[in-house]
């Protein structure tokens, strides 16, 4: 079973599985623990009712320790495996995995909000939240299980990645690793530019916005856009 007490001594594996260094993990852990205690007070049951027994009574949960809870959640978000795989990794049943994901995701959102690192989610409000006039916009895709209905299969199929996925548009500051804006999720077939148009993202006046060919024709008001160009002739242009 995957265990934080073992992973913390193997920093390379911790980074690969969670996307965080040990220092970053432990910094987030403090806020995550406080957010969990605030959302789920020890004197209340899982349904929010006053406890009739002392807190901690009964069988000890597999994810009893706050660090183990955070590890469980970050591994899921970083690698996005099937829930049955998560069950095998953490010694849980698939229904328990589903329960803990629903329970812990709001806690992580609260913790990130407390740390002031949540991205802006409202396009029109981004102009007031943007930290820099030099920004990069890009589309991201994350794999998902193949939908059962043919209609959803077609909507979520990405011709570029040859897989079924969900898509978001992100905006980041040049030279930063932080996501400053995150759009709502769309089906994988939707074009990057279409998502940006639908979100109505507002930028500070004078913003220089770097983009790729997925945003061809995207020229939001008050910005100067820069798009990388491919070399003439493409691969093998200089071959004799």
pLDDT digits (tens, 9 = 90+) for 153-188: 777 777 666 788 889 999 999 988 789 999 999 988
Distance CA 139, CA 173 (A): 15
At residue 46 the predicted structure's pLDDT band, cuts being 50, 70 and 90, is low
- What lies within 8 Å, CB to CB, of 216 at 6+ separation is 193, 227
Tokens of 24: 């970053």
If phi > 0 it is left, if psi is from -120 to 50 it is alpha, else beta; for residue 31 that is alpha
Higher pLDDT, 80 or 21: 21
How far apart are alpha carbons 29 and 25 in whole angstroms?
A: 6
CA atoms within 13 A on the CB side of 87: 11
Identify which has the larger pLDDT, 67 or 44. 67
> What is the pLDDT averaged over residues 214-228?
92
pLDDT band at 51 (very low <50, low <70, confident <90, very high): low
Q: Which residue has the higher pLDDT, 138 or 156?
A: 138
Please state, in angstroms and rounded to a whole number, the distance separating the CA atoms of residues 15 and 25: 9
The answer to whether the CB of 22 falls within 8 A of the CB of 14 is yes
Query: Which of the two residues, 38 and 129, has the higher pLDDT score?
Result: 38
Task: Dump pLDDT digits (tens) for 184-206.
Answer: 999 888 999 999 999 999 998 88
Is pLDDT at 131 greater than 70 in this prediction? no
Query: pLDDT-based confidence at 70, cuts 50/70/90?
Result: very high
Percentage of the residues of the chain whose pLDDT score is greater than 70: 86
Structure tokens belonging to residue 75: 């591994």
Question: Would you tell me how many other CB atoms lie within 10 Å of the CB of residue 186?
Answer: 20
The neighbour count for residue 182, using CB atoms within 10 Å, is: 17
Q: Residue 240 pLDDT more than 50?
A: no
- The answer to whether residue 61 scores a pLDDT higher than 80 is no
pLDDT class of 232 with cuts at 50, 70, 90: low
Percentage of residues in the chain having pLDDT higher than 90: 61
Banded model confidence at residue 80, pLDDT cuts 50, 70, 90:
confident
Average model confidence (pLDDT) across the chain: 87
Query: Looking at residues 209-220, what average pLDDT do you find?
Result: 94
Kind and range of the H or E run holding 198? helix 192-199
């Amino acid at each position: 079973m995957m265990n934080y007490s073992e992973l913390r001594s193997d920093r390379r594996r911790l980074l690969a599985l969670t996307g965080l260094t040990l220092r970053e993990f432990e910094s987030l852990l403090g806020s995550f623990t406080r957010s969990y205690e605030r959302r789920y007070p020890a004197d209340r049951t899982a349904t929010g009712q006053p406890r009739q027994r002392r807190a901690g009574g009964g069988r000890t949960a597999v994810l009893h320790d706050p660090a183990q809870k955070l590890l469980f959640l970050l591994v899921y978000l970083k690698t996005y495996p099937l829930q049955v795989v998560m069950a095998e990794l953490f010694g849980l049943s698939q229904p328990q995995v589903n329960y803990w994901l629903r329970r812990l995701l709001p806690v992580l959102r609260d913790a990130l909000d407390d740390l002031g690192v949540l991205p802006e989610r409202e396009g029109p409000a981004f102009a007031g939240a943007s930290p820099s006039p030099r920004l990069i916009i890009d589309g991201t895709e994350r794999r998902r299980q193949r939908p059962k209905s043919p209609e959803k299969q077609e909507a979520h199929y990405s011709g570029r990645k040859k897989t079924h996925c969900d898509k978001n548009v992100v905006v980041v500051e040049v030279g930063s690793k932080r996501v400053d804006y995150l759009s709502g999720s769309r089906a994988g077939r939707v074009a990057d530019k279409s998502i940006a148009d639908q979100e109505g993202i507002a930028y500070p006046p004078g913003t220089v916005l770097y983009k790729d060919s997925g945003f061809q024709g995207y020229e939001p008001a008050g910005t100067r856009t820069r798009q990388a160009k491919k070399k003439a002739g493409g691969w093998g242009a200089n071959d004799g």
